[in-house]
Structure 1
Amino acid sequence: MRVLLLDLDSTRPDHLGCYGYHRNTSPNIDRIAEEAVRFNQYYTSDAPCFPSRTALTTGKFGIHNGVVGHGGTAADLRHEGEGRQFKSQLDTESFASIFRSAGLKTALISPFGERHSAWPFYAGYHEMYNTGKGGMESAEEVTPVVEDWLERNGAQDDWMLYVNFWDPHTPYRAPESFGNPFADDPLPAWITDEVFEQHRKKVGPHSAMEINMYNNETLPEYPRYPGELENKDDLRRMMDGYDCGVRHMDEHVGRVFKKLEDLGVMDDVVIIITADHGENMGELGIYGEHGTADQGTCRIPMIIRWPGKTTGSIDDGLHYHIDLLPTLAEMFGTQPSPNWDGQSYATVISEDKDAGRDYLVVSQCAHVCQRSVRFDDWLYIRTYHDGYHLFAKEMLFNIKEDPHEQHNVAQERKDICMKAVYLLNEWHDDMMNSMDVDVDPLWTVMKEGGPYHAKGHLKKYAERLVETGRTEAVEELKRRHPQEQL
């Protein structure tokens, strides 16, 4: 058996053609989707990249493995303690160990371990190739490494290759020579002039006036990435920059597929296409970031083409990305770990039979501290630290009617909020009851001063708000964050 997993950083599903996007961003991915199961309601359990990939590596929610943020105590895996054996649990329970148990050679092409000192990410791989720029790679630097590995190993049997592409991640890096195939395509219709002006008034990192997190500075080496959205031309530059990143990456994905075809093995390879998280492009008034526990950040693509199994199918069940571990174990006929938090959906792949969950709880503690509940048509977001965005404590969105989260109906639908809080409490009880410790790492982040990307920046940001005529927000930020001196 041969398995290729493509981890496409910051790729949101609704900017792919196979998920209904109006721009032709992903012809090569779309071609695989026609032969695959495409999952519509697939979410990372923990965002952004470090918590997401740690959850996938360990098969556990961040609340269990301990990694929920980008710094502080909650950016390290929990120690196994005195019960730790000669080898850690990751020896047999990591994501890559599933393939090793099935007799496959495992290889990883990614700089991610170095990017966040996320060394457990390497667990279970026979070979690891660091593409060297900590996530600032363009596909031109990744694809040759992939092609070389396939040239040497692709025709052999029994391998799994995990490949990390970064082009949709900020700052958008498709080379100028790539041009702009979307210059004449319309912008998303939901961002009307009125909506855009509302976004211009918003405060918080990566809002329309601070694309560069806390200011509007730009980098000349990344001309596709604006520092501020002053008008619709800037908005086009932002959207086109992201979509060019997706399309540029897709062309390199096509090169990988071409190599498999040249080797004569393409029809036999299991292909898994997914991402660590999405990218807010206006959701909650945020652009070019993945810093919330919402639909824009946490919904991810999942496309699985398994030769001889279900083809051309769409699954609408609710799934976490960590559900992939027990799913693969079942598909390979091996035993899932009792320590994993995932739930297998192998029947979707093998029988086109639903295996979705009743609800999901997704978390974010790197830019804000939030937990959200996704159920029925609803997304309920509970905010513990607003990351300077002035979010309401409770937000509720009808994702079916309002997929871009523009209308918070929490006040009007208290009944739905009450159900969501009940589900959140049920999940939290289950998580705490299944832990050897009594510490929720979300609260560790809170007690250590707040999320990494929103700690110690308020004084400087308040100066920026005053300079740009948004003085009224400063007093409210001071009230919400009294620990930060202005």
Structure 2
Amino acid sequence: MLAGLALAGLAGCGNSPAEAPSVLLVTVDCLRSDHVGAYGYGRDTTPNLDALAAESALFERSYSHAPFTAPSHASLLTGLNTPSHGLVFWNYKIDPAAQTFQDLFGAAGYRTSAFINHPGLPPTGLLEDFDLPSTQLSGPWEDTVEHFFDWVDSGEGKFATWVHLWDVHRPFGYREWSAELLGFYPGTGRQPGRLPFAESGFGPGHDVRVGRLEAHYNVNPTERAGPLPVGAEQRRLGELDWRYIADRYDNGIRFADRGVGALIEGLRERGVLDDTLVVITADHGESLTERDAVWFTHDPFLYEETLRVPLVIRFPGGRFAGQREGELLVRGIDVLPTLLDVSGLDAPAALQGRSLVGVLDGSDRQPVTLLAQTQTKSAKESFRSVVKDEAGPDWLEFRQAVTDGRHKLILDYDTGTLELYDLSSDPGEVHNLVVDNSLDGPGLALRDELQRYRSELPAAPVHVVDPDIASQALLDALGYVEKDPAGEQD
């Protein structure tokens, strides 16, 4: 049996319906774990999440299965690897046969709801079968949290809810600024809290100072070397300008962290916090200036900064409070089996993750591997191709990675090139150990593991969705569809 798969069904832990907890799954879009205080970050970005971590179990080596929102959330909600749930890109839809978080908890009598903010998620099918699927597209956490608690207060019984916070996503820091997190900007003579360049607006109603111009994200070396819009002029951006963009990323984290705090405080005020299983994680991280090929993005990369995400689980009754798991790799597909286990529900045999209760209590310390993939190496070009040509599943540039936590192998299927990194000695994945595109030792073992994943994972049927005008416009706002200078789609 493949080491990375846990295919057997999980017996529930025996809770009666009255004893079963409510469940709150919170995903913070774009939050990389190494920018979280509880994970060792030196800046005070996450005081509320850090406080929650102190009374929760924290997993230091938690990975997402994809570096962008749709497939990574699908793995969280189904317990399936990307090939098995089928949601590989924005114009795909999750396999209708996949049993989801909302299906399983709804069947057990829970009230189910989702409060999401990503404009591209509604067409993917991820919101189907929730009792209440609420979309506050690109909205701030205040609106999301308010709507969640309005719904909680409107009914009775156990709830199972997914809350998605958008505030870390680009354009970084557009909700508000904290001078404390802009340490590289003061002293330059510019007004604190203002951008070092002008950006076009990010949808209606946003402060023009913190709007968005795609030129300042997804920037390659040629673009970085050339002039970019700065007010009414064009100039080459300097180190402080680029650092300021990265600092705004931390500002977005600080703002989203206040949303996490509001969720926890709201549960506490209602007297239900200790009866609720709370999970805080992220769909993926963010690459800032680590990768010379492209700065300020996430979609193309299978490196640590885009795949390593926080995972903090507050168990009912204080179980595992303060426990840190730093040895074993854990994955997004492990979240749903854990929620079902703690809630006393049997997990379907088709789930490919495992309950993390066994990792924490010592009953299941078997190491596993992670399969990650991206089919959006050139996301904008690929999506344009789909809109125009309605091509099948082979049109996307395609990479997969497999890691055992010590080494990581990345395979680019379009070029046939390999990358192998020793994560213990090279956590930044700077030194590719592959010579002449050949492998030995750990690389061969990981290649075999990748081949086993590809041969043994059930493959979901393809469900391609033609974006309607509204969905396409929302994706355009996110930068997934480019426009020409005249404002028309390419």
TM-score (norm 1): 0.72
Code of the residue aligned with 1:46 in structure 2: it is A
C-alpha distance in 1 between matches for 2:114 and 2:452: 37
Code of the residue aligned with 1:100 in structure 2: it is G
Q: State the SS of the aligned residue for 2:371.
A: strand
Q: Is the 8 A contact 1:13 1:301 kept in 2?
A: yes
2:111 corresponds to which of 91, 105, 111? 105
In structure 2, what is the equivalent of residue 76 of structure 1?
A: 93
Relative distance call for 1:374 and 1:408 in structure 2 (3 A) is: same
2:310 corresponds to which of 298, 301, 310? 301
In structure 2, what is the equivalent of residue 365 of structure 1?
A: 375
In structure 1, what is the equivalent of residue 178 of structure 2?
A: 179
Code of the residue aligned with 1:6 in structure 2: it is V
1:430 corresponds to which of 456, 467, 472? 456
C-alpha distance in 2 between matches for 1:171 and 1:334: 40
Identity of aligned residues (%): 25
1:290 corresponds to which of 273, 276, 298? 298
Q: Is the 8 A contact 2:86 2:460 kept in 1?
A: no
Give how far 1:215 is off.
9.2
Uncovered stretches (5+) of structure 1, i.e. residues with no partner? 79-87, 187-203, 221-226, 387-391, 442-451, 461-486
Code of the residue aligned with 2:428 in structure 1: it is H
Relative distance call for 1:356 and 1:28 in structure 2 (3 A) is: farther
Uncovered stretches (5+) of structure 2, i.e. residues with no partner? 1-20, 186-216, 378-396, 465-475, 486-490
Code of the residue aligned with 1:429 in structure 2: it is S
The yes-or-no answer on 1:158 pairing with 2:182 is: no
C-alpha distance in 1 between matches for 2:182 and 2:345: 49
In structure 2, what is the equivalent of residue 8 of structure 1?
A: 28
C-alpha distance in 1 between matches for 2:277 and 2:226: 44
Q: Is the 8 A contact 1:98 1:325 kept in 2?
A: no
Give how far 1:21 is off.
0.5
Q: Is the 8 A contact 1:58 1:94 kept in 2?
A: yes
The yes-or-no answer on 1:89 pairing with 2:97 is: yes
The yes-or-no answer on 1:317 pairing with 2:323 is: no
C-alpha distance in 2 between matches for 1:29 and 1:454: 30
Per-residue CA deviations over 1:150-174 (Å, capped at 9, x if unaligned) read 4445xx5411221110111111144
Per-residue CA deviations over 1:341-374 (Å, capped at 9, x if unaligned) read 222322235x255545332221111225211111
RMSD over aligned Cα atoms: 3.5
Per-residue CA deviations over 1:234-285 (Å, capped at 9, x if unaligned) read 2321221110000011012212222222222233322100111111123333
C-alpha distance in 2 between matches for 1:256 and 1:54: 23
C-alpha distance in 2 between matches for 1:245 and 1:343: 32
In structure 1, what is the equivalent of residue 85 of structure 2?
A: 65
402-411 or 247-256, which moves further after superposition? 402-411
Q: Is the 8 A contact 1:107 1:126 kept in 2?
A: yes
Q: State the SS of the aligned residue for 1:317.
A: coil
Relative distance call for 1:67 and 1:215 in structure 2 (3 A) is: farther
1:20 corresponds to which of 32, 40, 43? 40
Q: Is the 8 A contact 1:271 1:305 kept in 2?
A: yes
Code of the residue aligned with 1:179 in structure 2: it is S
Relative distance call for 1:284 and 1:414 in structure 2 (3 A) is: farther
Relative distance call for 1:216 and 1:163 in structure 2 (3 A) is: farther
TM-score (norm 2): 0.71
Q: Is the 8 A contact 1:284 1:406 kept in 2?
A: no
The yes-or-no answer on 1:393 pairing with 2:417 is: yes
Runs of 4+ in 1 over 4 A off after TM superposition: 208-211, 214-220, 452-457
56-65 or 309-318, which moves further after superposition? 56-65
C-alpha distance in 2 between matches for 1:96 and 1:219: 46
The yes-or-no answer on 1:142 pairing with 2:176 is: no
Query: What does 1:305-384 align with in structure 2 at a 5 Å threshold?
Result: 305-308=314-317, 309-315=319-325, 316-349=327-360, 351=361, 353-355=363-365, 357-367=367-377, 368-384=397-413
